[in-house]
Structure 1
């Protein structure tokens, strides 16, 4: 008999993976090397691969499950607007992160 994870458990796994991606030590290693080498970086971009893999898995677990959660467990009259608000939140946070990155 196949084991199926619940919608909330999958969203929790996605949030845990997202947290793990944020606490990876790659950025602290990069910063330390930049300070030691006077801003000259001799570090491969492949150091970021584990962090981006974790972020991709987190997105796959969280966003798809949130959409399924909204369509299956929310009242039918609210599922469409709730999904729209979820995607609007993603758009706004992406825009804000772009402003922060380009503004600094």
Structure 2
């Protein structure tokens, strides 16, 4: 879009005060910390042999990481409740089905 405006408004383009929007510059401004590792790793995966396989494995890892965090959070919530109220069965609180 920057290039189109520059060609259409050649005479008054400098007065508009527009800066070119370069994707790399925007990513460098917005991404910091651990998010940078995810972007750098996904960019590196495009250069691996069989990159679709590694991409699927990366996102499978993210899903497992999220599920593990969720299980840890639920354990942190249910354990104090079960300790405070020992008559409550864990199966009722966690929604576990027992096979008997």
Q: TM-score range by the shorter chain?
A: 0.3 to 0.5
Bigger Rg, which one: 2
Return the structure number with greater helix share: 1
So what's the TM-score if we normalise by structure 1? 0.33
Where relative contact order (Cα < 8 A, 6+ residues apart) is larger, the structure is: 1
So what's the TM-score if we normalise by structure 2? 0.35
